[in-house]
């Protein structure tokens, strides 16, 4: 054997210790990834879904007659914006449930056709703010950021003007089952209406 270090060739294969360390790191990474996926699925499963939010909502008749202000939401199960807002709306609902009614009306249910027409719902989510006397105060359409929604609700509870009545966000298109061809001249959305 040649024991001269100048003439010896370095080994290109990793040592057994290096292989073991690499394999240990791969196992640790796999465990961490598995736990992350498991916890991610669990946290998603525990967040409130749209059907749960609907199940917890107050019936419209009760809300209109119990003397509390109301936040009414027009939604659909297929509405991605409605689904996105459901967890935060659930938290808001629990925060304000003693002071406010939360009503959910499915636009795909023909039972709500009179309300769809009354509030001229053409995009969802569509929020209607009603005071203690069940009078319409304001409407907002689309995904509304939580701070804006909470500011509006706090103003509604305090019977103050809502600060964000022109708020609008991403919506899911909704085609109303009826077309109104001849808008009333007193309709504020009619661009041909004359101010008297």
Helix (H, G, I), strand (E, B) or coil at 86: helix
68 carries an active-site annotation: no
Instruction: Report the alpha-carbon distance of residue 143 to residue 156 in Å, rounded.
Output: 19
Instruction: Report the alpha-carbon distance of residue 12 to residue 3 in Å, rounded.
Output: 19
Instruction: Report the alpha-carbon distance of residue 143 to residue 73 in Å, rounded.
Output: 11
**Catalytic position from the list 58, 71, 76, 79:** 79
25 carries an active-site annotation: no
Nearest to 71 by CA among 111, 126, 108, 109: 126
Burial of 2: CB neighbours in 10 Å, binned 0-12, 13-18, 19+? exposed
**In this structure, are residues 114 and 61 in contact, taking their beta carbons and an 8 Å threshold?**
no
Instruction: Report the alpha-carbon distance of residue 127 to residue 193 in Å, rounded.
Output: 25
Q: Which residues contact 82 (CB under 8 A, 6 or more apart)?
A: 50, 73, 75, 76, 124, 125, 172
What are φ and ψ of residue 180, in 5° steps? -100, 105
**Catalytic position from the list 82, 85, 92, 171:** 82
- Residues taking part in catalysis: 79, 82
């Amino acid at each position: 054997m040649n024991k001269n270090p100048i003439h010896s060739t370095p080994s290109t294969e990793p040592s057994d210790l290096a292989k073991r360390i690499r394999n240990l790191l791969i196992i640790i990474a796999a465990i961490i990834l598995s736990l992350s996926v498991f916890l991610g699925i669990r946290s998603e499963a525990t967040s409130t879904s749209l059907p749960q939010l609907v199940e917890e909502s107050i019936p419209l008749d009760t809300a209109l007659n119990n003397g509390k202000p109301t936040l009414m939401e027009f939604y659909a199960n297929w509405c991605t914006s409605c689904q996105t807002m459901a967890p935060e709306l659930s938290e808001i609902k629990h925060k304000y449930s003693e002071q406010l009614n939360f009503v959910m009306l499915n636009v795909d249910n023909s039972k709500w056709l009179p309300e769809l027409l009354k509030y001229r719902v053409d995009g969802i989510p569509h929020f209607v703010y009603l005071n203690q006397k069940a009078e319409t105060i304001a409407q907002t359409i689309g995904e509304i950021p939580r701070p804006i929604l909470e500011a509006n609700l706090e103003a509604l509870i305090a019977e103050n003007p809502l600060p964000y009545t022109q708020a609008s966000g991403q919506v899911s298109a909704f085609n109303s089952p009826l077309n109104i061809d001849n808008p009333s001249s007193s309709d504020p959305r009619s661009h041909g209406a004359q101010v008297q």
